[in-house]
């Protein structure tokens, strides 16, 4: 157990340091917003670009790996919707926002550093394959469903078009797309360019973890306690449990299995709050689930890691 905590605790200590720095006024909210702009628009896209540009596409994009993970995402989305409708007794638009929160795992800021510390850099190929499709899958599912609900079931095409426009301007997806272009072309990057991109990418995860902690200061643990429990329970327990079962059923190799389960075990990401805020639905539940889910994942992720080891 101490070995597992040695993997997870340093990651959450960096998040805690960012939270403490902003909370105590050592780092302003404006400064942390600037740090997150750097990580989200420059450093993490560089990290994803480098990873995808050298990814073994045939091995990485294994349908069994993607099915194990994304079938779990869809189950979590539906569980969040049904739980909101029938347990929380809230409307359909709130249900979609809660379902999105339950589905949208923090695959990059938490998933990558924890997986790297647990299993090494060489093990991350399946993680990058999952991440490459994550934003597109979740936003397409969530936005199309929200548009359909608001349009009485006729807004699916409009929702898909809105997602396509949004993703075409998303820095993370642009990094993935550029990496795929380099990978498929087979053309090597000039050495100075590769070194420059690598230097930026090295700053991505520690800076993003610190910034994530700082951003969380503005999220207050308030709102419907049952809604927060619903989101966190689905994200931290149901998603990895489902992925575990599907991974064994589909006979994933050990590297794929660990990557899928561990990624599924991550807390809701900040994009869950942004989705709720954009649509003006279940905002307090989503914000609180990001904060409380991240704190609770110190224990739950450690537990899943213990089982995986």
Task: Look at residue 154 and give its three-state secondary structure.
Answer: coil
Torsion angle defined by CA atoms of residues 53, 57, 61 and 63, in that order, rounded to the nearest 10 degrees:
170
The dihedral region occupied by 28, where left means phi > 0, alpha psi between -120 and 50, and beta the remainder, is beta
Which pLDDT does position 172 carry in this prediction? 79
Which pLDDT does position 159 carry in this prediction? 57
Report the alpha-carbon angle 202-203-207, nearest 5.
Answer: 145
Extract the tokens encoding 158.
């409009």
Interatomic CA distance for residues 228 and 87, integer angstroms: 12
- Per DSSP, the residues of 11-70 read HHHHHHHHHHHHHTTSS-HHHHHHHHHHIIIIIHHHHHHHHHHT--HHHHT-HHHHHHHH
Nearest one of 304, 239, 258 to 72, comparing CA atoms: 239
CB 212, CB 109: distance < 8 Å: yes
Give the domain ranges of the chain: 2-216+223-308
Which pLDDT does position 223 carry in this prediction? 67
Report the alpha-carbon angle 32-162-132, nearest 5.
Answer: 60
Alpha-carbon Rg of the chain, whole angstroms? 19
* Reported pTM: 0.86
CB 29, CB 22: distance < 8 Å: yes
In CATH terms, 2-216+223-308 corresponds, of 3.40.50, 3.40.1350, 1.10.730, 1.20.1530, to 1.20.1530
Q: Is the dihedral of CA 32, 38, 41, 46 positive or negative?
A: negative
Strand partners, 268: 105
- pLDDT per residue, tens digit, the chain (309 aa), is 556 777 888 989 999 999 999 999 999 989 988 998 898 889 989 999 998 888 887 777 899 999 999 999 999 999 999 999 999 999 999 999 999 999 999 999 899 999 999 999 889 999 999 998 898 899 888 888 888 887 765 555 555 666 667 667 778 788 888 988 988 888 888 889 899 999 999 998 899 889 888 888 887 777 689 999 999 999 999 999 999 999 999 999 999 999 999 999 999 998 898 888 888 899 889 989 999 999 999 999 999 999 997
Which pLDDT does position 119 carry in this prediction? 93
Helix (H) or strand (E) holding 266: none
CB 75, CB 98: distance < 8 Å: no
Which pLDDT does position 217 carry in this prediction? 87
Extract the tokens encoding 51.
């990873």
Task: Look at residue 105 and give its three-state secondary structure.
Answer: strand
Interatomic CA distance for residues 188 and 7, integer angstroms: 34
CB 162, CB 33: distance < 8 Å: no
Interatomic CA distance for residues 26 and 29, integer angstroms: 10
């Amino acid at each position: 157990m101490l070995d597992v905590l040695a993997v997870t605790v340093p990651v959450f200590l960096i998040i805690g340091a960012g939270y403490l720095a902003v909370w105590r006024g050592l780092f302003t909210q404006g400064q942390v917003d600037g740090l997150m702009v750097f990580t989200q628009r420059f450093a993490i896209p560089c990290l994803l670009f480098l990873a995808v540009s050298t990814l073994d596409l045939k091995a990485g994009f294994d349908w069994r790996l993607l099915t194990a993970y994304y079938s779990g995402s869809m189950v979590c989305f539906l569980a969040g919707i049904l739980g909101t409708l029938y347990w929380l007794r809230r409307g359909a638009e709130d249900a979609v926002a809660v379902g999105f929160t339950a589905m949208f795992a923090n695959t990059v800021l938490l998933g990558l550093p924890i997986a790297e510390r647990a299993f090494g850099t060489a093990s991350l190929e399946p993680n990058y394959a999952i991440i490459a499709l994550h934003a597109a899958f979740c936003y397409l599912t969530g936005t199309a469903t929200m548009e359909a609900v608001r349009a009485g079931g006729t807004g699916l095409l409009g929702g898909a078009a809105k997602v396509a426009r949004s993703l075409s301007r998303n820095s993370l997806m642009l990094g993935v797309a550029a990496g795929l272009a380099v990978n498929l072309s087979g053309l090597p990057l000039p050495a100075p360019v590769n070194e420059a991109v690598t230097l930026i990418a090295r700053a991505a995860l520690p800076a993003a973890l610190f910034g994530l902690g700082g951003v969380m200061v503005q999220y207050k643990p308030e709102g419907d306690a049952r809604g927060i429990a619903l989101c966190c329970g689905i994200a931290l327990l149901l998603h990895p449990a489902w992925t575990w079962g599907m991974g064994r059923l589909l006979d994933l190799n050990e590297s794929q299995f660990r990557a899928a389960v561990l990624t599924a075990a991550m807390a809701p990401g900040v994009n869950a709050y942004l989705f709720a805020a954009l649509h003006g639905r279940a905002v307090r539940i989503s914000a609180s689930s990001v904060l409380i889910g991240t704190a609770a994942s110190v224990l739950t992720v450690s537990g899943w890691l213990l089982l995986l080891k």
